[in-house]
A = this chain, B = another copy of it.
Amino acid sequence: MPGHQRHTRQRAAIAGVFEAQGGPLSALEVLKLARAKVPGMGTATVYRALAAMLEEGALTVVHLLGQAPRYELAGKGHHHHFCCRGCGRAFEIEGCAEGVQALAPAGFRVEGHDLVLTGLCPGCVGG
């Protein structure tokens, strides 16, 4: 049975990290958190696990402006992100601007879009 996935401590730890943390995580953040459960886990293991989970649709990539790619559990539906310039954290935003893809000039085939709002989150607005 080719293409079969094996259940390993490392993969379990990585999956656990995503379930525990709500927000999108970078590869190295995942590595750091997963090492709490599986000390000595290799860097490549995380990248390979992320690639595999991405491939099978368990994760999706989130690109926040200028930051390393982040990953979050898939199946959350279409949403976007708010990136706080105060604390650097990312928040999910529900909803989506309709008709945004019509902005492309003729001749372009639009397949998707990403939107990132920037500013201050409630915690950083206050002080």
Contact = CB atoms under 8 A, between A and B. Distances in A.
Nearest to A123: B107
Size bin of chain A's contact surface: 35 or more
Interface in A75-127: 80, 82, 85, 91, 93-97, 99-101, 103-105, 107-122, 125
A69 B120 CA distance: 21
User: Which of A96, A111, A114 neighbours the largest number of chain B CB atoms within 10 Å of its CB?
Assistant: A114
Contacts of A65: 63, 114
Given A66-B61, A113-B116, A116-B114, A108 B121 contact: yes
A122 B107 contact: yes
A93 B105 contact: yes
